Structures are given as C-alpha cells and as structure tokens.
Amino acid sequence: MLKTLGAQVKEFKKASVLTPVFMILEVIMETVIPLLMASIIDDGVEKGDISHIYAVGGWMVAAAAVGLFAGVMGGKFGARASTGFARNLREAMFENIQTFSFANIDKFSTAGLVTRLTTDVTNMQNAYQMILRMCMRAPASLICAMVMAFTINVKLASIYLAAVILLGTCLFFIMNNATKYFQQAFPKYDDMNASVQENVSAIRVVKAYVREEHEISKFHRASGNIYKIFVKAERNLTYNAPLMQFTVYGCILLICWLGAKMIVGTTLTTGELMSLLAYCMNILMSLMMLSMVFVMITMSIASARRITEVLNEKSDLKNPEAPLYEVKDGSIEFRHVDFAYNKESEKPVLQDITLSIRPGETIGIIGGTGSAKTSLVNLISRLYDVTSGQLLVGGKDVKEYDMETLRNEVSVVLQKNVLFSGTILENLRWGNKEATKEECMEACRMACADEFIEKMPEGYETHITQGGSNVSGGQKQRLCIARALLKKPKILILDDSTSAVDTATDSKIRRAFKEEIPDTTKLIIAQRISSVENADRVIVMEDGRIDGFDTPQNLLETNAIYREVYESQTKGGGDFDEKAGEE
C-alpha cells in the first residue's frame, strides 16, 4: 500500500523533502530561544549588564526570524506537496478507471468510486501534510526539549518524563477507542453518496410518484449513520483536552514549586526556571500534536486502503504482445462459447453458443427478458472475455486484436442511451472526432435524426444538457445511432436501441441501413417482431442458449417461441414478458 501511494508523489518529492527540513529548523530555533532567554535573565538582568541583554536579544530576534521563515517555508512546501500528491492520486485513479473492463467496474459501485476520488483523497491530502509537517515537528520538538530540560536540571526534567509517560498511555487508550469508529465512518459515505446520486438521476420518477419524503428520509438515515459514528469517535476525543490541560498545569505547578525551592537553595537560577517552563509547554504540546496526527493518520488508513484498491485493480482485458491492427471484414463466429460474469458461478449466462454470421448480413436477435441477448453482443466488441470457447471477428480471435482497433470496427448503440453535455455536433463527433458537419448530417439522415434537428432553432448547434434530458427518448436513441454510424464500422450492434421510436421511423432506419451500409454486418436486438422480420436471419435466445437461428420465414414454421411471439404481436397481443409470465 505504501509503495503504491508513494509512487504518486512523483514531481513533488523535492517539496516533500524540504518540508520536514524546514520543520526541524523551526524546532531548533524554538529550542534555542529559551536558552537565550535564560542567559538574558541570569547574565544580563541580574548582573545589570545592558550590553549582554542587547547582544543576546539580537540573537533571539535572529532566531525568531529564522524560525518564522522556516515555518512559512515549511507550510508553503507542505501545502504544495500535499495538494500535488492529492492531484496525482485523483489523476492516477481516474486514468486507471478508464482502463477497466466491465468486469472490473462491476466490482465497485459508482458512489464508491466518487467517494474515493473526493472524500478519501481529501483525507489522504490532509494526512500527508500532517505527516510531512507535524510528524517531523512534534517528535523533534519533544526530543530537543527533553534533552535541553535534562541538560538544565535532571530532577525537574524527570517531572516531564513522568508526565510524558502518563499522558502518552492515556492518549493511546483514547485514540485506540476513537480509531475503530473512524474506520467505520468512511465506508458509510458510499451509502450517502449513493442515495444522493440515485435521487438526482431519477428526480423525474421521484416527483412523478411523489416520493420526495421517502427520499428525504432515506438520505437522513444515511447521513444520520455517519453522524452517530462521528459522535462516538469525537466523544472519546473529548477526554483529550482536559487530560492535556491537567497534565500541563500540573507540571507547571510542580516545576514552579520545586523550582522556587531550588532557587532559594541556589541550585537553580531564575533564567533556568523560565527555560524549563518554556520547555514544559514544548514537550506537552508536542504530545498533543502527536495525538492529533495519530487521529488523522488513523482516519486516513481506511481511505488509503480504498484508494489502493482502485490503483491496484488491473483490467482483466489486455492486448496481446503482437496485436492485429486491421479487421478484415464483419464476419462473426462463435465456437462453443460459454460465458459467466462471475467465473465461480455454477451456471454460465451463455451456454454452448455456436453460430456463424457472414459479412454484411442483418441479424435480428430476440428473446425474453434475461435470455442473455445483451451478454451475447457484449462479447463481440470484447467488453467481456468468453469464459470458454472461441469468438472470431473477421476470421481472427477477438483476443488477437488491438482492443481500440476492434472497438472502432464494432460500433455499439447500447440499451441505455447516454448523451453528454455539449452541442449536438459535439455529441455526434464522439463517434468520429474528425467528422465534418456534412458527414454528421448524413449520419443523422440515415438515423432519421435530421427530422427533429432541423426543426430546432439552433439546429446542430443546439445544446444538449447532461444526460440528454432536454430531448425525448426517441430523439436520444436516433442521435446515438447517428453517432455510432459516424465510426463507419464493419459491425453495427443495436441493443434494443429503437424501442422508443415509432414503427414507421424504425422501418425508415432499417431501410436506410440496407441501402446505405450494405457491407456492414448489422445485429439488431429487439422486442418487436417488426424490427427483425426483414432481417436476413434471426437468433432466438432462451435462457442463455440459442433456441433457433434461421430466416424469419423458416422460424415462423419451425420455432415455437418465434411463432408464438409473432402471433401475439401481430394480433395485438403481448410480448416476451407476457409469455414468460404465462410460464
């Protein structure tokens, strides 16, 4: 874990080294000042030597100035190192997340990743700054002050030693009890962030069903859990301040009482007593700082583990040593393919899939909910790897291709359509960033998106809000299809991506595909028979297996599932889910 996190210090190593150097210099100056003060009192004030007072006073001012400079520089470099470290952590996590396969992403919740990139990184930033500054300053101050105190008077310095042992033991028990609560707190942020994310993304549904009070109470529960844990932790820490005050004032009273007797007995000077009192505050405040550092580090350990999990997670999809950078054609072949999202699953999602698709064919895929239609097409662009068997695209195993090359040639319009904030043109150019406006317009014409774009006042410069909330579901689907067409792929996969458009527009889109991109292999997942009845062949999926694969006409005669759905839909009946319900 330390090695993984330490690798992200990178260009801020110099600042990370200079910070403790300046902190130690500041401590040295703070340690020297009480000695100079003792010299002024003993050798200057009591002897009436004004020149000595001025000389030593000048050295005190110089020491204070050097200490101030060191403190400022320590703060400057510490801030630079900690904020830079936090920036590198965020960038490294985000970059690594971009390499994740779907299987890797499935291991983390969206809210959990957001918490790691925000709250957990902030905790690490604060902890790193505390380590660079306080973790060096406090022990150095404690050691220097103890050494100087024992140099002045062993008997009185022993009071400090006893106070340190007593205070250290008590602080250990306080911190130990508080630590377990802090470790429980940060995973709870995931629950709270998940509540917020779910509510905001589904705000229209919340308002439509008048569930605002339910969502508020759910957030209150998540927020209340964090509150309760922190209250328990802080309750333990409340003993810290009174214990500290008791120890400090107890030491001061003992030193003043015993020191006064020693001054009367001429075994201690007034200046030395003043120095010991100054060192008393240095020693005990160092312990206080160490206790706070310990709390901060304890809080950050849980965050460090969570960040390390993301940084150490490596994609289970990797390029081969000598990848292929060209896909010959759009042919697809499954050879006894099994697939499971979890390799330890007893039953695979896809079982013994064997089929061959020729380049340029239009293939329909139908099946009930949960029949693994989407899982089947996800393997083609290698969003997941097959568990067993072999999958070939363009006559080569998909594992032999460079993944970027393969995915550029296999364009997928996902079941859940996503648009990004920006203009329509900017969204379309996700498919091809070099595309001209004319190419974008042509893609929109094929996807029947030009019909509504040209009616908008700003046309292709119309701004799309985040998630595409200012366009309808059907408009969003057609824009996503146009975006996929701009890639000019050899294989085009439509995962139920015309479900929100009317049948007439659906028919126009399919006709445009047939006329404009005849050489592109087209896989159309659909619930409507009308979307696949003109396909060259249709795959009928049932419970992760291929129940039928033939022309629509032949399936109507030979496949009971296809025939039943065809008849129910053409007669105004139901759909796959209705059929599943009857079973």
Residue-wise pLDDT for 523-558, tens only, equals 999 888 888 888 999 999 998 999 999 999 999 999
The pair of three-digit structure tokens given for residue 200, joined into one six-digit string: 């905001």
Taking only the tens place, the pLDDT of each residue in 192-202 is 877 787 787 77
Q: Per the domain annotation, does 534 fall within a domain?
A: yes
Residue 528 backbone dihedrals phi, psi, to 5 degrees: -90, 130
- Predicted pLDDT of residue 118: 87
Does the pLDDT of residue 58 top 50, yes or no? yes
Return the HEC string of 58-124: HHHHHHHHHHHHHHHHHHHHHHHHHHHHHHHHHHHHHHHHHHCCHHHHCCCCHHHHHHHHHHHHHHH
Tell me, yes or no, whether 114 and 174 share the same domain.
Answer: yes
Q: Please tell me whether residues 109 and 199 are part of one structural domain.
A: yes
The percent of residues in the chain predicted with pLDDT above 90, rounded, is 23
Residue with tokens 């120890």: 247
Tell me the pLDDT tens digit for each residue of 2-34.
888 888 888 899 999 999 999 889 888 888 888
Backbone angles phi, psi at 494, to 5 degrees: -110, 105
Write out pLDDT tens, residues 416-474.
Answer: 778 888 899 998 998 888 888 899 999 999 989 888 998 888 888 999 887 777 888 88
Q: How many structural domains are present in the chain?
A: 2
Residue 511 lies in a domain: yes
Q: What secondary structure does DSSP assign to 368-401, as a single string?
A: -TTS-HHHHHHTTTTSS--SEEEEEETTEEGGGB
CATH code of the domain containing 520 = 3.40.50.300
User: What local confidence, expressed as pLDDT, does residue 175 receive?
Assistant: 74
- Type and span of the H or E element at 347: none
What pLDDT, on the 0 to 100 scale, is given for residue 570? 78
Same domain, 280 and 357: no
Domain holding 58, by residue range, is 2-312
Q: Are residues 285 and 348 in the same domain?
A: no
Q: Is residue 513 part of a domain?
A: yes
Residues 233 and 359 in one domain: no
Q: Comparing 371 with 252, which gets the higher pLDDT?
A: 371
State whether 302 and 336 are in the same domain: no
Please name the residues in contact with 379: beta carbons below 8 A apart, sequence gap of 6 or more: 337, 339, 350, 385, 386, 391, 398
Residue 444, domain member (yes or no): no
151 and 112 in a single domain? The answer is yes
* pLDDT value of position 583: 37
Q: Does 320 fall in a domain?
A: no
Pair 278, 344 in one domain: no
- Cβ atoms of 358 and 331 within 8 Å: the answer is yes
pLDDT digit string, tens, across residues 386-416: 989 999 999 999 999 998 899 889 988 877 7
Instruction: Decide: helix, strand or coil at residue 353.
Output: strand
Same domain, 225 and 283: yes
Selection from 338, 414, 364 nearest residue 540 by Cα:
364
Of 281, 312, 343, the last residue of a domain is 312
Beta-bridge partners for 406? none
Residue 468 included in any domain: no
The whole-chain average pLDDT of the chain stands at 84
Question: Are 144 and 271 in the same domain?
Answer: yes
Question: Which pLDDT score is estimated for 65?
Answer: 93
Residue where one domain finishes, among candidates 284, 312, 340: 312
Domain-embedded: residue 562: yes
pTM, two decimals, is 0.69
Distance between CA atoms of 497 and 480, rounded to whole angstroms?
8
- Please classify residue 131 by burial: count the beta carbons closer than 10 Å to its beta carbon, then call 0-12 exposed, 13-18 middle and 19+ buried: buried
With a cut of 60, say whether residue 576 has pLDDT above it.
Answer: no
Same domain, 534 and 394: yes
| Statement to judge: residues 384 and 263 lie in one domain | no
**Would you give the distance in Å from CA 289 to the centre of its chain?**
31
For residue 131, what is the domain's CATH number?
A: 1.20.1560.10
From 262, 283, 312, the end of a domain falls on 312
Give the integer Cα–Cα distance in Å for 367 and 195: 33
